[in-house]
Amino acid sequence: MKKALAGVLAVALAGVMAGSAIAQVPNVQVYFDPNFTQTQAQCPGTAPFSGPPVELHVVMNNWNMNVTGVDFSISYPPALVFLGDNLLDPETTAKIGDSATGIAIAYGNCCTQDGFQPIEVLRPLVLWGVCDCNQPPQPLVVGGYTPLGKTTPSAIRREDFVEFGGLGMTSLICPGAIATEQSTWGQVKALYR
């Protein structure tokens, strides 16, 4: 009995440790709200290309270093029409390119970003375009700095200017419902026999 309990405990602890490791992967994500909680959005229900422009929020998560620069790109779906990028502090930040084709952002020495916290790095301005939630979801994908052929975002550490790669996350427009099916525990166990 003690061996079985120890085995269950070991498996549970390994699962918690693996979940913690996955949760700390450095990434760049697009959010639809200024509180950085919404990575999915529905169509606004207005005619395409109407309504006021909308600001998105591009955030670096889990970089765990002092960041002096970042580069990435965003693949905008037909539901969003890219208008331009707004830097948060243009007096201490410089950029090359734009988020639709590849953007590199650098911070002055006075304003290095604390990557131990989420860092909002950019606010792209978009209009709602062709958006129909009766169609499949439209992904809003963060990728690498395409002018240099990168496939994932990267950031520069302030202390030694070493470059580190991260993951580009995907946000969804019209995510749809998650398909589920009612089942019994016996039917679930039968799947693994």
Supply the CATH number for residue 85's domain: 2.60.40.680
Whether residue 192 lies inside any domain: the answer is: no
Q: Give the single-character DSSP code of 133.
A: T
Q: Residue 68 falls within a domain, yes or no?
A: yes
* Number of alpha carbons in the 13 Å side-chain half-sphere of residue 178: 2
Per-residue b/e over 126-137, b at no fewer than 16 CB within 10 Å? bbbbebebeeeb
pLDDT-based confidence at 179, cuts 50/70/90?
low
Whole-structure pTM value: 0.78
What is the reported pLDDT for 128? 92
Give the pLDDT score at 178.
Answer: 56
Domain span including residue 120: 26-177
Encode pLDDT of 1-37 as tens digits: 455 444 444 444 444 444 444 558 999 999 999 999 9
Please state the domain count of the chain.
1
Q: What integer pLDDT is reported at residue 112 of this predicted model? A: 72
- Residue 59 in any domain: the answer is yes
Classify residue 141 by burial, with Cβ atoms within 10 Å: 0-12, 13-18, 19+: middle
> Does the residue 155 lie in any domain?
yes
Residue 185 in any domain: the answer is no
Confidence band (pLDDT; 50, 70, 90) for 83?
very high
Tell me what pLDDT residue 9 has.
43
Q: Which two tokens stand for residue 47?
A: 């005619």
- Residue 163 and residue 155 in contact, taking contact as beta carbons nearer than 8 Å: yes
Percent of the chain with pLDDT over 90: 58
* Domain annotation covers residue 14: no
Query: Is 151 contained in some domain?
Result: yes
Residue 6 included in any domain: no
Give how far Cα 32 sits from Cα of 52, 117, 182, Å. 15, 19, 32
Per residue in 125-143, pLDDT (tens digit) is 999 998 888 889 999 999 9
